[in-house]
Structure 1
Amino acid sequence: MSEIIHEVATLTSKGQITLPKSIRQALGVDTGGRVAFDLRGGEVVVTRAEAAHEDPAIGAFLGLLEGDIRAGRHVQFLPEDLARAMLANAGHAVDLDESIEGEVAL
């Protein structure tokens, strides 16, 4: 039988809550982790959400960045064209099934 954990969180004016540490630990989620909310008969059930289309290259890159940040090493700069492209695409929805036009170099 699973352990019962009871925690209370406060809703902010923006409709946000902080998941208590014991809940994050029980779900196995950390910074950047995703959770799903299901409404079942007046109760909200929170579960860890698995990434549907996780790109292994991006995951590896983010893992390297996380390791550097945890070790106190910080990215000093990005190539200007990469930084511009990242800023131009920040916040845009991505269709992973969209066809790619032109040549692709890997």
Structure 2
Amino acid sequence: MLLNMAEVSLRAESRLTERSQTTIPAAIRDALRLKPGEVIEYSLLPGGNVIMTRQHQGEDPVIDSFLHFLEQDMVQNPQRIQPVPASAWANITALTAGVEVDLDAPLTDD
């Protein structure tokens, strides 16, 4: 991926301290909606450019890889896609009866 400067919507700079630390400029923090304690990912591009991204909570490289694998399989083999049998839905409904899930709640180790 090449960095196209025409697509850059915001630029900022900061200074590296003697301890090799820097402060992320407020404009960048605001644009990325960064909060204290969040993980930031750095990607080094050929030529020395770096892309800094906010790691979205809940991202999992294993799940991402698996979902990509499923997507590719569905594109390459659409004949394998079949509806879930009604009996399976009945079992799922019975197993999950009364279970409430907050999809916005953070995942715990439980």
TM-score range relative to shorter protein: 0.3 to 0.5
Write 1 or 2 for the structure with the bigger share of helix.
2
Greater relative contact order (CA < 8 Å, ≥ 6 in sequence): 2
TM-score w.r.t. length of structure 1: 0.45
TM-score w.r.t. length of structure 2: 0.44
Query: Highest Rg: 1 or 2?
Result: 2
